[in-house]
Amino acid sequence: MEIVIKATQFILSLSFLIVLHELGHFIPAKLFKTRVEKFYLFFDYKFSLFKKKIGETEYGIGWIPLGGYVKISGMIDESMDTEQMKQPAKPWEFRSKPAWQRLIIMLGGVIVNFILGILIYIMITFVWGVDFVKPDGVKEGFAVHESFKEYGFKDGDKITKFNGVEPLNVTDVNKHLFLRGITSIEVVHTNGIKETISVPENIGEIMWEKGIMQPFQVIIPPVIDTVVAGSPAEKAGILKNDKILTVNNTPIHYWNDFTKAIVNSDNEINITLKRDGITKNISLKAGKDNKIGVAPNRASVVNVQHKNYSFLESIPKGNSIAIWTLKDYITQFKYVFTKKGATSIGGFIAIGSIFPATWSWEAFWSITAFLSIMLGFMNLLPIPALDGGHVMFTLYEIITGRKPNDKFLEYAQIAGFILLIGLLILANGNDIVKLFS
């Protein structure tokens, strides 16, 4: 059932984004009196699931869920209709239009993606508001990764400032370290001493290379608060208020230690716990998702605050969230070109997995907004077969006054298509490897 819910959200989100992206091309094409032969959700190689012709345009749904397209007359695109390009140019064809009109048609899709992302974030802010944790809201401080203790951080540190400024949400510390250029963090140690600790300017690259993406984790005591009915934990006799002492003889100090130990365990899991002052030993096996069905009382150690926004207030706030989402994604994108990056690229399984296992409209729209901005940026990359490739050639024409010949554009489109197929195979291949490993 969880897989069905995730898949449904993914397909719905993807379909929504594809249709609106293609409308971004379709509408300016129509405004400039350019003929649009097809408008498709998903690809219709050989046959389509549904199609209906209205006027000069065939609307349909293909059977290959890898995207969608609009086929514009007189344009070298994914349809690779080279026969049409051998004929003399017609007034209604894309190639007959002025360069500035062609540029607007090609930019239409990504512009819609960016505007859509902003609008969704504004809506989310207005409808659901924003949750955040102030520095004094982390009552037990943070557990620190061993490698970060070399800089001077200690378990139990309470973080008060990033780069000399109090953060709105202190639990964003890992994201800010990785993506937003933090060079100093002010902390209060458990002995009450305040200290400003410097970190290397390339701390994001260090985190990436060492695989330390969560150097700071909120300290939550390893005390059971919830036991899921029918779970391995309930069947083994674990109860609320049990305190975890060890897992497979590994000492447990924080809840994070407990979850790591469970995930890294193979076969039988031996847990030592304390209940009403008495030590007990319990053995069990985790479920297929490497979980045993327990949860801590996070609310007792993390004070999550909430702020509602009026519609007018949500406009700048939502816009700010969208801009930072784009900036963070661009910053993160550079890691794709590292040796490790090739194995970290995810495909449809990776994208689908970020949707929650239970239906949540807030989560659905938040992920959809992120994907919209991500797709906008990816489509702007100057790769033939993407919108950015067409934009690149059109800008070249506008600047130099010389239009690349159709044969060159045809070869470039083929090369770009092969590159994209290769990346698609790599990304989904990584998903399959991770799934079975």
CA dihedral 335, 339, 343, 347 (to 10 degrees): 40
The residue with tokens 């129509």 is 30
Comparing 298 with 34, which gets the higher pLDDT?
Answer: 34
Q: Which CATH number fits domain 223-296: 1.10.540.10, 2.30.42.10, 1.10.8.10, 3.40.50.300?
A: 2.30.42.10
CA dihedral 79, 80, 84, 88 (to 10 degrees): 130
DSSP bridge partners of 218: 142
Predicted local distance difference test score (pLDDT) of residue 264: 79
Under a CB-based contact definition with an 8 Å cutoff, are residues 390 and 106 in contact?
A: yes
Is beta strand 278-285 parallel, antiparallel or unpaired with respect to 57-72?
unpaired
Predicted local distance difference test score (pLDDT) of residue 181: 86
**Buried b / exposed e across 288-322, counting CB within 10 Å, b at 16+?**
eeebbbbebbeeebbeeeeeebeeeebbebbbebb
Average pLDDT over residues 291-317: 93
Q: What's the chain's length in residues?
A: 437
Model confidence over 188-242: pLDDT tens digits?
A: 999 999 999 999 999 999 999 898 999 999 999 999 999 998 888 899 899 999 9
Average pLDDT over residues 49-65: 90
Query: Count of CB atoms within 10 A of residue 389's CB?
Result: 21
Domain boundaries, the chain: 135-218, 223-296
In CATH, the number for domain 135-218 is 2.30.42
pLDDT band at 290 (very low <50, low <70, confident <90, very high): confident
Predicted local distance difference test score (pLDDT) of residue 187: 96
pLDDT band at 306 (very low <50, low <70, confident <90, very high): very high
- Look up residue 96 and give its two tokens: 């007959």
Fold match between domain 135-218 and domain 223-296:
yes
Longest dimension (CA), the chain: 89
Give how far Cα 317 sits from Cα of 117, 129, 130, 362, Å.
13, 10, 10, 16
User: What is the spatial distance between Cα 401 and Cα 412, in angstroms, rounded to a whole number?
Assistant: 20
Predicted local distance difference test score (pLDDT) of residue 356: 86
Average pLDDT over residues 359-373: 95
- Look up residue 324 and give its two tokens: 């930072």
